[in-house]
Structure 1
Amino acid sequence: MKKKKINKESKQKESKDSSAKHKSSKVSGGKHKHPGASHRGVIDITRSGMGYVTVVDMERDVIVRPQHFNTALHGDTVEVQITKSGGGGGRVEGEIVRIIERKQTQFIGRISIQKNYSFFIPETDRPMPDLFIPTDKLNGAVNNDKVVVKLTSWDKAKRVPEGEVLELVKQEAENDIAMKQILLGAGFNLSFDDEVMEQAERFPDGVSDAEAKKRRDFRDVLTFTIDPVDAKDFDDALSIKKNANGLYEIGVHIADVSYYVEPGTKLDDEAYARATSVYLPDRVLPMLPERISNELCSLRPKEDKYTFSAVFQMTDKGEIKDVWLGRTVIHSNHRFSYEQVQEIIEAGGEGLYGDEIMLLNTLAQKMRKERFKKGAINFSSQEVRFVLDENRKPIGITIKESKEAHQLIEEFMLLANKHVAEFIGKITVKEKPVPFPYRVHDTPDEAKLGPFMVFAKKYGHTFDVSSPQRIAESFNQMLKDAHGKPEQHVLEALGIRTMAKAVYTAENIGHYGLGFEHYCHFTSPIRRYPDVLVHRVLQQCLDKQPQIDKKMEAKCKHCSERERSAMESERAANKYKQVEYMSQFLGEEFEGVVSGVASFGFWVETVAHKCEGLVSLFSLSDFDDFRHMEEDYCLVGKRSGRSFRMGDKVTIKVVAANLEKRQLDYELVLGHIDSTEKKVLQPTKFQHPKKKRGKK
């Protein structure tokens, strides 16, 4: 597999109420800091009100004072012009001359209605001005109501920005407000504009005869969907039939979103801006209006639907003899849940369409085995889901593991994604590759892989680093050998951390984790914008009219950034629900596993709930003087030699649950006996440990 590094974007860390993080770096290149030079960057406004613009090709941020923000808000992509070069060791300063892209345009806060005017006071941890709300834009809000407001205009000539009330927020729903704040803070709007909704409503129901005649018709072929039990947007379906030549025709049918969402429309602009649906524990914020995602495009049973398909002619051993790609029309015969399909598989094929499901499962398992044989890395996966009451409060936690029913769908989706990318990869325009949003995954980070190999060797696992292929084989052997052993959890967790992040790019370097030379996202256009782009490029190539999209790489970068924002939102929401759930157990003790180690303490994930909290170093200070041993992923006591390493089993007490900070604090239970060293951890002083907590 090709090995080529992708340009890494400089990461913006969470800014604190000081400029400490901005003091250590240096400006690179004199031309960049010359007064009058302009640069594109992202502004980070600290809690104290000072701004710092991060520019990709500059090592040091550009200071921007509040009077030079020129309507910029925290997280906006801006054009900053250098006003002070920073010569003689001083700081580079600048002013914002243009807002390129707003990160956030919707905010939660309170309405203040006075005699002749109304203002919206945002509830945000970063300084921003109040918004003037015209009387005809209050939408029923009264004084002191909590509302969601949209920033509608902010002319530099005006002293204050203007906005309009979009919705009232119920006061009693604290957890609902928290979820909305997470989404808004990540730059995801909670609602669609009227024009977007109007466009979505224009489309007629059903399938037209004229359009159906342009497509390959699969409506008479057995077709069904397999999705989570609570899913509403069914974007993929499988069809199966046996041909006269003895081959099986397996169709992977994907909702044809690009038929409805056309370039240049408000609907497309909004989908691109979001770039992804966001899945929180208690809600889904869709990329497209429900008229599109849950009705027109959703492959609901007993309805004709437009699809884009990859159709495979296969032997009963999984050998592919032919592949066809193109637009189709289908009719789903049945909607299965994963649980229903798993029951059929475990029952040996008893149930509706049991023979077809068993055949598909056999083929999927053969493809899966072959994929790992060729270098795909077999990390196991668990999905932790909250059981919620009618007020969206967590009352329980379930753990879902990947079973054969999930793998059945996964393997056929991977197959379709791979073959679409392979097809596009062979096409050129003017001797250059067609611009295309590949999904790529680089080889492991060498800086992280080295320490991990040293750590894994302590458990008897060795790595062959002579080639990327050998590294993948070593990972798989380690995962196989460690399965069911105490170190399995820590080796899997740390192994995943050595991996690069998968991203979208027009520069194809292959997908290391899957072991594919060509890969893309084709199978989920209802919830991912890159899949919509893939459909468009694929149709152009099928029509033998491929186009050069000079903005493809910029689109890929945007989609990758939005994906990261969505993942961060999902993690924040999951953490909130963990804190919300564990708050009922204050003072109670639980078994846990050390899930992370840092210089200021270690994190513990409870076995029963999979909820992670921090045991601070300060809370251990009366026991021993602990030091962080980074290469061993552990804390070691200077006097006792007692260690806390990732994967160790411990007993903790829940001592604090802070919803605002989304933080759980645990304390180690006194007298805990380490199962390996048989040492009892007791205070070295004759007093009870102080119940003070450090910060995560």
Structure 2
Amino acid sequence: MSKKKDKKGGKRINKSELSERLVNYLYTKVNESLTTKQIFRDLNLTTHPLKMLCSDIISEMMDDGLLTMTEKGQFKLNDHGLIMTGKFQRKSNGKNSFIPDDGSETIFIAERNSAHAMNNDKVKIALFAKKKNKEAEGEVIDILERANDTFVGTLKVDKYYAFLLTENRTLANDIFIPKDKLKSGKNGDKAVVKVIEWPDQAKNPIGQVIDILGQAGDNTTEMHAILAEFGLPYVYPKSVEEAADKIPTEITEEDLEGREDFRDAVTFTIDPKDAKDFDDALSIREIKSGLWEIGVHIADVTHYVKEGSIIDKEAEKRATSVYLVDRTIPMLPEKLSNGLCSLRPDEEKLTYSVIFTMNEKGEVKNSRITKTIIKSNRRFTYEEAQEIIETGKGDYSNELLELNKLAQILRAQRLSNGAIDFDRVEVRFEIDETGKPVSVYFKESKEANKLIEEFMLMANRSVAEYVGKVPKDKKAKVFPYRIHDLPDPDKLENLNFFINRFGYKIRTSGSSKEVAKSINKLLHDINGKKESELIETVSLRAMQKARYSTDNIGHYGLAFDFYTHFTSPIRRFPDMMVHRLLTKYLAGGRTVQKDKYEELCVHSSEMEQIAANAERASIKYKQVEYMSERIGKEFDGIISGVTEWGLYVEVDESKCEGMVPMRDLADDYYDFDEKCYCLTGRKKHKKYSLGDHVTIKVAKANLEKKQLDYTLVEDIHEKKSK
């Protein structure tokens, strides 16, 4: 019997032959993304059956991981070979994963194939043969670079051995510690332990105690444990403090050379009531009727901290001060941060300043950047300045009111240009002398805060424009910018989908200014409504994170084409970089090496994120500690998060967030809808959605894990039926 022919008379191609042709073809286009239309054309597949057969093969290759989809309807050969390098991500449940350097899909690594790699280690893996319709799997064959080998936990000390019990979610097993490696640690001590060995056949890694933090439960111990957990320093090196102590405190004639004298101008600082490091001050004097000279004066930190010095190296490593609930871990030694560089009242201080000449309409007629000397007349807290703004009475009321009037004009201009007006309430704790939280209060940004913010923004922008704004035929010198990218379009679509259920909508396309204006309208419309905080939170998630870079793309959130950080050199290393480069460029110096400064920008961005995570962990710890004394009590709250493992509920009264685990929703089997942020019961069709109001009871508070467990007492469905 003869073989069937296709319509054009040639031999009919079977599936195996077409698969071979397709693979051979794809290997000739290994770096290209292809549409099915291109594939059909290049393989001369003209009949409908052949096109359908080819589509089936492409689908199977996608399932098997041989092809990846690069864009909608475009495919590329997944040609990464059998050996790959990338980052290992450990999970305490043993479901580890490998993220390839080439950006291809994540690969599963079972615990038995992990070679005891630690979380975020750089590793080399070998891929296993691909199982049909199963996820790609591999094994670690080499650990190229350790990311972290220290862990924080509580010591359990027995007669002959000891363990570090960790709450780290990336480590499945506790760390075994030989008795001679305990460093006098006692049962119940919080400790920092370094993993020194993990034998192939051993279940537990072996470690040695690096530092004893103190008894678990003690406030300072727990705050130090949070810092150690994030790899942040909790003590200041003595050698750095000693170097700071040797810096002369007197201002000499040589120090004053080339500086403008602002000691006679009315100058003051406005800061939080518990602040000690005052790194910015404002001066104001009337030049003539309706024309003002405004000075933004910043501590001249780099006058004292020389590049490459031991103090500078420590500041570079830390990159930022860390603000926990009850303490500040400064970037610079206290001699500098709270003393020599802090712009305290009635003390002469060396500063780096941006001086603006402004009229009553808030128009900047001219500006200059210069080194100065100042003498602050008054230190205001935000609350004191706010009272003067509201009543018109108090020290320097005329100056404060004029600055506030100009700041409001600047703010209105910025918002009309497309800046986004996020104005979030921050949770703060009143803490007693032992560190115990006794009450919760909310920090709101009022006119006094916004006054300072606007002039700092203007100074930062002016410095960035001075360096970055050059004629089209010239190349700007290397400089660290603070950049903020456009929102992710998919996240904007999800945000729009979410807010529709509350009756709101935003633009998800069009110019960046149009999108920003629609987000601002949303933020204005929800102001004072019950759903305001929730929608603000979801809106923030749609935004990109701001970061530092030598490649300027502008700052979307502020609607600035040029922006940098100049105004906080006491607490941020990028500001110190900016001060040094500004001094160099003002003196006509040549540009610097881009790679070096980009590396410093990346490091500073990473450290900023780590510091923010540590701050959140300290707030979470205090929230759990606060609610631990309210076990069994009932509170009204709002569903602030929906996941496949349960509901997160934020209590209205204290903003303390806890979880209602899925096991406690035992009345039905629930399906999780990620896009709609909801759980829906299969039988009773009860729905729990983000933003629903519920009543909870505090069930459990675990300080070690920083976790609160709630149970539902009354939910939205029961409330509606009443």
The reply to whether TM is greater than 0.5 is yes
- Decide whether the 8 Å contact of 2:113 with 2:139 is kept in 1: no
Match of 1:232?
276
Matches within 5 A, 1:244-643: 244=288, 246-348=290-392, 350-427=393-470, 431-464=474-507, 465-545=509-589, 546-622=591-667, 624-643=668-687
> In structure 2, what residue type is equivalent to 1:226?
I
Distance 1:614 1:434, change over 3 A: same
Distance 1:220 1:429, change over 3 A: farther
- Tell me by how many angstroms 1:27 deviates: 11
Match of 1:198?
242
For residues 287 and 491 of structure 1, the distance between their equivalents in structure 2, rounded to whole angstroms, comes to 34
- Decide whether the 8 Å contact of 2:693 with 2:716 is kept in 1: no
Match of 1:93?
140
For residues 655 and 149 of structure 1, the distance between their equivalents in structure 2, rounded to whole angstroms, comes to 31
Q: TM-score, normalised by structure 2?
A: 0.79
For residues 584 and 466 of structure 2, the distance between their equivalents in structure 1, rounded to whole angstroms, comes to 12
For residues 530 and 563 of structure 2, the distance between their equivalents in structure 1, rounded to whole angstroms, comes to 35
Distance 1:205 1:25, change over 3 A: farther
Distance 1:600 1:555, change over 3 A: same
Match of 1:683?
none
For residues 241 and 101 of structure 2, the distance between their equivalents in structure 1, rounded to whole angstroms, comes to 37
Partner SS, residue 516 of structure 1: coil
- The one of 200, 208, 233 aligned to 1:189: 233
- Decide whether the 8 Å contact of 2:192 with 2:228 is kept in 1: no
**What do residues 31-67 of structure 1 show as CA deviations (whole Å, max 9, x unaligned)?**
96566x8x5x655455589986645424346969999
For residues 377 and 575 of structure 1, the distance between their equivalents in structure 2, rounded to whole angstroms, comes to 28
Partner SS, residue 487 of structure 2: coil
Partner SS, residue 390 of structure 1: coil
- Tell me by how many angstroms 1:344 deviates: 0.5
- Tell me by how many angstroms 1:232 deviates: 0.9
Matches within 5 A, 1:119-198: 125=168, 126=171, 146=189, 169-171=213-215, 173-198=217-242
Distance 1:275 1:225, change over 3 A: same
- Tell me by how many angstroms 1:358 deviates: 0.5
Match of 1:11?
none
Distance 1:55 1:640, change over 3 A: closer
> In structure 2, what residue type is equivalent to 1:567?
A
For residues 611 and 73 of structure 1, the distance between their equivalents in structure 2, rounded to whole angstroms, comes to 32
- Decide whether the 8 Å contact of 2:66 with 2:79 is kept in 1: no
Distance 1:67 1:272, change over 3 A: farther
For residues 646 and 269 of structure 1, the distance between their equivalents in structure 2, rounded to whole angstroms, comes to 46
- Decide whether the 8 Å contact of 2:356 with 2:365 is kept in 1: yes
Distance 1:271 1:163, change over 3 A: farther
Partner SS, residue 551 of structure 1: helix
Partner SS, residue 317 of structure 1: coil
- Tell me by how many angstroms 1:309 deviates: 1.2
For residues 697 and 523 of structure 2, the distance between their equivalents in structure 1, rounded to whole angstroms, comes to 32
- Decide whether the 8 Å contact of 1:420 with 1:522 is kept in 2: yes
Match of 1:18?
none
For residues 201 and 429 of structure 1, the distance between their equivalents in structure 2, rounded to whole angstroms, comes to 48
- Tell me by how many angstroms 1:92 deviates: 5.2
Distance 1:581 1:218, change over 3 A: same
Distance 1:541 1:629, change over 3 A: same
- Decide whether the 8 Å contact of 1:397 with 1:609 is kept in 2: yes
Partner SS, residue 343 of structure 1: helix
For residues 478 and 602 of structure 1, the distance between their equivalents in structure 2, rounded to whole angstroms, comes to 26
- Decide whether the 8 Å contact of 2:301 with 2:341 is kept in 1: yes
> In structure 2, what residue type is equivalent to 1:497?
R
Match of 1:157?
none
- Tell me by how many angstroms 1:457 deviates: 3.2
- Decide whether the 8 Å contact of 2:407 with 2:450 is kept in 1: yes
**What do residues 351-374 of structure 1 show as CA deviations (whole Å, max 9, x unaligned)?**
011110001111111111111111
2:265 counterpart of 1:221: yes
Partner SS, residue 517 of structure 1: coil
- Decide whether the 8 Å contact of 1:63 with 1:94 is kept in 2: no
| Count of aligned positions | 635
For residues 623 and 653 of structure 2, the distance between their equivalents in structure 1, rounded to whole angstroms, comes to 12
- Decide whether the 8 Å contact of 1:62 with 1:94 is kept in 2: no
Partner SS, residue 322 of structure 1: strand
Higher RCO, Cα 8 Å, sep 6+: 1
Distance 1:239 1:423, change over 3 A: same
- Tell me by how many angstroms 1:69 deviates: 7.8
- Decide whether the 8 Å contact of 1:106 with 1:189 is kept in 2: no
> In structure 2, what residue type is equivalent to 1:679?
S
Partner SS, residue 584 of structure 2: helix
For residues 548 and 541 of structure 1, the distance between their equivalents in structure 2, rounded to whole angstroms, comes to 14
Matches within 5 A, 1:9-48: 43-47=88-92
- Tell me by how many angstroms 1:488 deviates: 2.5
**What do residues 328-357 of structure 1 show as CA deviations (whole Å, max 9, x unaligned)?**
222111111000001111112x10111100
Unmatched segments (≥5 aa) in structure 2: 1-63, 69-76, 131-135, 198-204
Partner SS, residue 471 of structure 1: helix
Distance 1:371 1:666, change over 3 A: same
Q: TM-score, normalised by structure 1?
A: 0.81
> In structure 2, what residue type is equivalent to 1:367?
L
2:712 counterpart of 1:668: yes
**What do residues 199-235 of structure 1 show as CA deviations (whole Å, max 9, x unaligned)?**
2222111322211123222222111111000011111
**What do residues 138-187 of structure 1 show as CA deviations (whole Å, max 9, x unaligned)?**
6xx57669476697999xxxxx9998966x54426434333222211211
Partner SS, residue 336 of structure 1: strand
- Tell me by how many angstroms 1:381 deviates: 1.4
After the TM superposition, which of the residue ranges 87-96 and 593-602 deviates more from structure 2? 87-96
- Decide whether the 8 Å contact of 1:131 with 1:151 is kept in 2: no
Partner SS, residue 303 of structure 2: helix
For residues 196 and 647 of structure 2, the distance between their equivalents in structure 1, rounded to whole angstroms, comes to 46
Match of 2:40?
none
For residues 346 and 318 of structure 2, the distance between their equivalents in structure 1, rounded to whole angstroms, comes to 31
- Tell me by how many angstroms 1:441 deviates: 1.3
> In structure 2, what residue type is equivalent to 1:395?
V
Quote the RMSD (CA, aligned, Å): 3.7
Distance 1:150 1:298, change over 3 A: farther
- Decide whether the 8 Å contact of 1:33 with 1:92 is kept in 2: no
- Decide whether the 8 Å contact of 1:271 with 1:529 is kept in 2: yes
2:721 counterpart of 1:679: yes
> In structure 2, what residue type is equivalent to 1:536?
R
- Decide whether the 8 Å contact of 1:119 with 1:133 is kept in 2: yes
- Tell me by how many angstroms 1:134 deviates: 10
- Decide whether the 8 Å contact of 1:113 with 1:142 is kept in 2: no
Q: Report the identity percentage.
A: 42
Unmatched segments (≥5 aa) in structure 1: 1-23, 155-159, 681-696
